Each structure stands twice: as C-alpha cells, then as structure tokens.
Amino acid sequence: MDKFKDLDPLLHSQLRLAVVSLLLSVESAEFVFIKEKTGATAGNLSVQLDKLNTAGYIIIEKSFKGKKPLTTCKITKKGIDAFEQYVINLKQYINK
C-alpha cells in the first residue's frame, strides 16, 4: 500500500471542505444558507468561496433577491472530481 498521497490543499480546509460537502447535496445554495449551515463568519466565507471559485471548484452567481444582493453557489464537475479524489486519498490516512 503506497500511503500518504498529497491532499488537495484547497479541500483540506475545514470551511472549504464543509462548503463543498454541502454543495454536493444540493442543486445550488445561497451565501446566507451556507453561512448558517457552516457556522462561518461572512468575511471568512467570502474569502473561501472566492478561492473555490478561482480554482473552478464552484461557480458563483451574483443577482438580486428583490432589492437585496444574492450570491448563489453551485459545485462544478471539476469540484466534484476534486472532492472524490480527495476522499480517496484521505482514506489512506484514516483507514489503516
């Protein structure tokens, strides 16, 4: 067993992993919803969503809900693939 393959640093972060995990289970999610589900602060979430977006793991769409700004996130194929590989690699660490 060739152990300890590198863990994608973009996913090996508690908050970003939670976001991706969450997005895997829904069609799309709004900023405020993700914030509540993860318990993150808005600032931290904003930064981490940007990173996932820049990496192409999620897409972020900005619109308006009535008159208020609305940020909607959706996982991409690239994000799903990265997550799946991350889980495969991670299991080498946690299943002896």
Partner DNA sequence: TTTTTTGGTTTATAAAATAAACTACTTTAT
Partner DNA sequence: ATAAAGTAGTTTATTTTATAAACCAAAAAA
Residues that bind a second copy (CB under 8 A): 3-4, 6-7, 12, 14, 17-18, 21-22, 24-25, 37-39, 87, 90, 93-94, 96
Q: How far apart are CA 74 and CA 57, in angstroms?
A: 9
Question: Taking the complex as a whole, how short is the minimal distance between the CB of residue 9 and a second copy, in angstroms?
Answer: 8
For the bound state, the minimum distance from the C-beta of residue 24 to DNA, rounded and expressed in Å, comes to: 19
3-class DSSP assignment, residue 95: coil
Residue for token digits 């897409």?
59
Name beta bridge partners: 62.
71
Amino acid at 96: K
Among the residue ranges 19-27, 63-71, 75-83, 85-93, the one whose residues contact DNA (CB under 7 A): 63-71
